[in-house]
Amino acid sequence: MASELSNVNRGPGLIAEYCVFLLLSLFLVLCRAYTRLRVTEFWGWDDTTIIIAWIFSLISFVFFCLMIEAGLGRHKAFLSNPEQDVLDLIKWQVGFQTAIVICTLVTKLSISLMILRIKDTKSIRYALGIMMFLMTSATVAMIITEFISCIPLAALWTPSIKGKCIPPSKVYLLAYIQSGATIVADLCLTASPVIILWNVRINKKKKTLILGLMSLGLIASVCNAIRSGVQGGLLTDDTPYATVPIVIVCILEQGFGIIAACIPTCMPLLMLSKRRKEQSRYMFENQTGRRQARLRSESSKDGAWRVYDGNDAVPLAPLHKITTDICSE
């Protein structure tokens, strides 16, 4: 079997992908925090929850690195200790999946709270509350099922421990339900800004930009749907390599979720930066104009002047002085 496979290692590529999204999301979270603390001076629970979401993304990255060390991204046949490495991979995968679903849940909660800051009505509050209740229930049920998939849980990765385990197909069934709830939540959270801003009298270009930024959450929905589609691959014997597609879409789903939650809140910072740039240019042009006026004023006291290079006034010697000098010679 090993002769039919190539000894590839997709681990470094996975680490690079994860680091890009982790650092980009951290940058946007910091920009969001600066905007809310220094620019708008209006901190809210949506800002606190997105920081918590990023912390869980960092926790998932730690478990991800342990999975890489256990052989994630390589074919089982080429691992130094295949049986033990697969068991270690399963152990760290439990922590990775738990951190991922919690990060996704808290990110959706942050977006819901941000929408309520835009428009807080009873109908919107009830709609978002019901949606988050259903998603939270599905996520909690999945986490509980994950941790009771074997009793004791250590029996999942320790063959010497005899325990009672739930068939993996039933665990994946609950994962499908959680994915479905997440997709519905993404669609609702994407549609909410459209409904809220439809009749708001703001610049059409600005309205389109806001709706476009909020729609970035749809990318997370697509990733979630793909994850559900490739989840069945985990039932194969080559677990370290078969897990790669699921890990990729988990990274994308988590990363785009945090990015979509942060970019709209950073708009005041971009507007402030643009305003300061325009003010700096205005001050520079104003100072340049005053300097040119001063040069013209000083040169006019001495007599004639001419324009040099189209900008600066270069004074010339007075005509009566030139005539006197010529006559004296």
Q: 172 in a domain, yes or no?
A: yes
Q: How confident is the model over 191-213, as a mean pLDDT?
A: 65
Q: Kindly write down the DSSP assignment for every residue of 105-149, as one continuous string.
A: HHHHHHHHHHHHHH---HHHHHHHHHHHHHHHHHHHHHHHHHHTS
Structure tokens at 57: 């993304």
For residues 17 and 7, what is the distance between their CA atoms, to the nearest angstrom?
Answer: 21
Cβ-contact 155, 162 below 8 angstroms = yes
Question: Containing domain of residue 205, as a range?
Answer: 2-275
The count of other CB atoms within 10 Å of the CB of residue 84 is: 14
| Widest pairwise Cα distance in the chain | 121
Residue 51, pLDDT > 90, answer yes
Separation of alpha carbons 49 and 200, rounded Å: 27
Q: Which residue has the higher pLDDT, 301 or 67?
A: 67
For residue 287, tell me if it sits in a domain: no
Angle, to 10 degrees, between the axis of helix 168-197 and the axis of helix 217-230?
160
Query: 164 in helix, strand or coil?
Result: strand
Contact present, 49 and 219 (Cβ < 8 Å): no
Specify if 15 maps to a domain.
yes
**253: closest CA among 12, 56, 43?**
56
Does a structural domain hold residue 187?
A: yes
Give the separation between CA 286 and CA 185, rounded to whole angstroms.
52
For the entire predicted model, the pTM comes to 0.76
Residue 319: inside a domain: no
Question: What is the pLDDT at residue 149?
Answer: 85
pLDDT of residue 211: 63
Looking at this protein, which amino acid is placed at residue 71? G
Give CA separation, 23 vs 29, 214, 217, 228, 258, in Å.
10, 21, 19, 26, 11
DSSP code of 39?
Answer: I
Check residues 278 and 222 and name the one with the higher pLDDT: 222
- Count of domains for the chain: 1
Domain assignment of residue 92, yes or no: yes
**What DSSP string describes 87-99?**
HHHHHHHHHHHHH
Within-domain flag for 301: no
Asked if the structure places residue 264 within a domain, the reply is yes
What does the mean pLDDT of the chain come to? Answer: 78
Most confident of 29-33, 118-122, 163-167, 218-222: 29-33
Residue 313 CA to its chain's centroid (Å):
54
- 93-105: average pLDDT: 92
pLDDT above 70: residue 154: yes
Q: Assign residue 268 the CATH number of its domain.
A: 1.20.1070
Q: Which of 262, 268, 242, 296 is nearest to 89 (CA)?
A: 242
Using DSSP bridges, classify how beta strands 150-151 and 164-165 pair: parallel, antiparallel or unpaired.
Answer: antiparallel
Tallying the residues shown for the chain, one arrives at: 329
As a whole number, mean pLDDT of residues 305-314 equals 47
- Give all strands (DSSP E) within the chain, no chain letters: 150-151, 164-165, 305-308, 312-315
